[in-house]
A = this chain, B = another copy of it.
């Protein structure tokens, strides 16, 4: 079985934005894109990685959050998913948005033009890589222990890997909001249909799960 590159549980607005403009420490998703609007469907499920109480739904949406870690051996993410800092690292204080126990539990490769030493938090190790998408994927597959690689986003990173035709499957959760401006994944998801099959699955929670896999 070959190793796949999978986008999972990636939230966009109905008009195709994964984040608004003006990302900052206070607004990881920028202006207009309220994380609650994008991710409340996931937060309500029993298998949401950040859940601290034993409750949560076990219906359709839970199949997506419970699949988040299944057979994943590494993640690749863009620098803007890792944090709001741009340009050279002034210091190494910033260790991601996720506190002492990041929800990845695998090696994570952060794509950046600026060198930085690897570090480990709990069972997640962050590596920093100035590389093409193909080279980054090769490195991630090497350490993934035969498992798949998750492409974590953000939007620009997913677009780069799509342009390089390296993505095997995408699960995009479309929230019923429009924000008009920001980091746009697509004008229309039909752009992908020349290369991918699509199942479009409306959820009782209000989001629509778009599931793409290679033709």
**Interfacial residues, chain A to chain B (CB-CB below 8 A):** 1-2, 46, 54, 57-60, 62-64, 66-67, 70, 168-169, 197-199, 201, 203-204, 209, 211, 213
Contacts and interface: CB of A to CB of B under 8 A. Distances in A.
Given A70-B66, A204-B199, A213 B169 contact: no
- Total identical chains: 2
B70 A197 contact: no
> What DSSP secondary structure best describes chain A's contact surface?
mixed
Given A64-B63, A199-B204, A213 B70 contact: no
Contacts of A54: 1-2
A8 to B, nearest CB: 11
Given A1-B54, A54-B1, A201 B67 contact: no
Contacts of A199: 59-60, 203-204
